[in-house]
Amino acid sequence: MEPALRELWAESRDLLGLPSSSQDATAVPRVSLPPTPLAFLRDHVSPGRPLLVSAAATRHWPAASLWPTASYLTDALRSTAVSLHLTPDGRADALASHPHPRRPGSSRCFASAHVRRVDFPTAVRLIRGSDPAAGLVAYAQQQDDCLRGEYAAVAGDVDAHVPWATEALGCLPEAVNLWIGNAHSVTSFHKDHYDNIYVVLSGEKHFLLLPPTEHHRLYVRDYPAARYVATEQSSEGGRQLRLKLEMEVPERIVPWSSVDPCPASPEELAVQASSFPLYFDGPAPIRCTVRAGEMLYLPSMWFHHVSQSPGPNGLTIAVNYWYDMQFDIKYAYFNFLRSLEINGCSSGKPDASEGDLEEKKD
């Protein structure tokens, strides 16, 4: 089975015009002007090929000039409550060490953030001060169409939809989300059941991408779900927030990728590489950095890992448009592929049984 899979990986990258062996940062096709709806559909959506559109496409958005300035958003949203996702290390919806070491079985769990509603200026202060060394990283996000919900006061600063994508896909976006973090927030490998247009407005987002044909390289396995809970503690400077991981009760199982593509130390890299050889011995992930003003089209079902660099305002700010994907023969092929066991690294379950969290992330 493994040689057939490696052939599939090589052929799909070859047919999509993507490199198999290098870490070429210019691998994703880039255009300076938005494509026509027909060309977008034919050359990107239908074949499943990402596209990067230069900043010219968003130059007319008020957000392009206003949002990077230090005070515009905090003024516009000064009395708005927003959802802030808090973790000790910037890794929400990611694997973490199991909080009950004596529990039999897996030593890792799937950890969700602690979510608090705070006023926007407080959120920005906590995001800017985020630091794993201090045990607190904050990320303002909510994958529930939050730009048109919590952030409605500034939603008019960006286009309500992406006209060429809307015409090509034949529908308006189902959700438009806003994401504000600093360099410490990282999104682990996952996929979405949406065609995704990702627009960076401050700082940069760094994507590692794998086509859906490379499913087995991610070692998707079942993990019990846990959630960070907060306790307030007195300290010298006043009261301080402490986060503690607690297993969900009743138990909930989340299939998630076991692979950390950016381990923190050489020792951890060695452990990962020996545990997940299909990832570390296979073709390098496709790297793509999206800069302020640029738009990335990420086809549905592509695996992506996202890290970020803040702009001069200390923040990475991005908006994404989720369009309903077409469930067609490509999706049937994907489900067949993932049903095949190889070295115990398929969950073996139909795609539809996955947790909502995998379907709705960044």
Residues near a copy of itself, by CB under 8 A: 4-5, 7-8, 11-12, 15-16, 37-39, 41-42, 45-49, 167-170, 211-213, 326-337, 339-340, 350
By C-beta, is 42 or 59 nearer to a copy of itself?
Answer: 42
- Strand 187-190 to strand 204-210: parallel, antiparallel, or no bridges (unpaired)? unpaired
| Under 8 Å between Cβ of 200 and 293 | yes
By C-beta, is 1 or 56 nearer to a copy of itself?
Answer: 1
Q: Which of 40, 67, 66 lies closest to 52, judged by CA? A: 40
Residue 322 CB, nearest distance to a copy of itself (Å)? 17
The two three-digit tokens of residue 26, written as one number: 């210019």
The two three-digit tokens of residue 305, written as one number: 């890992």
By C-beta, is 267 or 328 nearer to a copy of itself?
Answer: 328
Residue 228 CB, nearest distance to a copy of itself (Å)? 37
How many Cβ atoms are within 10 Å of 125's Cβ, its own excluded?
14
Sign of the alpha-carbon dihedral angle for 212, 203, 129, 183: positive
By C-beta, is 8 or 183 nearer to a copy of itself?
Answer: 8
Residue 21 CB, nearest distance to a copy of itself (Å)? 17
Residue 296 CB, nearest distance to a copy of itself (Å)? 18
By C-beta, is 133 or 352 nearer to a copy of itself?
Answer: 352
Peptide bond between residue 266 and the one before it cis (omega within 30 degrees of 0):
no
Q: Which of 264, 296, 259, 253 lies closest to 278, judged by CA? A: 259
Residue 253 CB, nearest distance to a copy of itself (Å)? 22
By C-beta, is 305 or 330 nearer to a copy of itself?
Answer: 330
Residue 49 CB, nearest distance to a copy of itself (Å)? 7
By C-beta, is 165 or 178 nearer to a copy of itself?
Answer: 165
Residue 350 CB, nearest distance to a copy of itself (Å)? 8
238/100 Cα distance (integer angstroms) = 30
Residue 20 CB, nearest distance to a copy of itself (Å)? 12
332/349 Cα distance (integer angstroms) = 13
By C-beta, is 40 or 151 nearer to a copy of itself?
Answer: 40
By C-beta, is 14 or 24 nearer to a copy of itself?
Answer: 14
In terms of Cβ atoms closer than 10 Å to its own Cβ (0-12, 13-18, 19+), residue 172 is middle
Residue 98 CB, nearest distance to a copy of itself (Å)? 32
